[in-house]
Amino acid sequence: MKDLLRHRTSLKEEIEILLNNQVKMEAEASAKYLAMASWCDRNGYLKSSAYFLRQADEEREHMMKIFNYILTVGGTAISPEVPAVKQEYPTFRSVFETALQSEISVTQSINRIVTASRKEEDYATEAFLDWFVKEQVEEEDNARRTLELFDVIGEEGTGRYFIDKEIGKLNGGDA
Ligand code: FEO
């Protein structure tokens, strides 16, 4: 059955697997950001919590973009299983370090799919992923900016209060 259906699409199985893995990675990113939003909220960093909630929404949008693309090109989109994500963080700063690391992993993963698409002469998928390549430049830039704020403001005294306030302005925040 699967083989018969396979003949009706130009999407190669290898690319379909990579795209479904990316759906899962974006779902996991959304779950991670929810955990970060919760950690920030219960530790008094309300603007950062709102920032992570916005990030979580964006990751779900990324997930749905890829999910819908798989459907459009006649593939089998798989509803992702999300593994348990870390709920606790040792420090305020470490939350943002983890977020940057996570964005860098997503960039690398997107790049690997672009490379595979090119190798398989799947130019439709390569063109589709162009949006994600550009989006990751922004995502990493935001994540790096949060860490710069820790450095330029400093955590001592009321530092963390002001860091939280500035983070609230990033990525569409009106804080
Ligand atoms: Fe969808 Fe932040 O990567």
Give residue 99 CA to ligand 1 midpoint distance, Å: 10
Q: Region 80-104: what's the mean pLDDT?
A: 97
Confidence band for 173, pLDDT divided at 50, 70 and 90: confident
**Is any ligand 1 atom within 6 A of the Cβ of residue 29?**
yes
Q: What is the rounded average pLDDT of the residues 81-107?
A: 97
b/e sequence 56-86, b meaning 16+ C-beta within 10 Å: bebbbebbebbbebbeebebebeebeeeeee
pLDDT at 8: 75
23-54: b (≥16 Cβ within 10 Å) or e: bbbbbbbbbbbbbbbebbeebebebbbbbbbb
Q: Please tell me the predicted confidence (pLDDT) of residue 2.
A: 54
Structural domains of the chain in order of their starting residue, each with its CATH number: 2-167 (1.20.1260.10)
Ligand 1 center to 130 CA (angstroms): 14
Residue 4 clears pLDDT 80, i.e. is over it: no
Using a pLDDT cut of 70, give the percent of the chain over it.
Answer: 95
- When pLDDT is cut at 50, 70 and 90, the band that residue 19 belongs to is very high
pLDDT of amino acid 84: 96
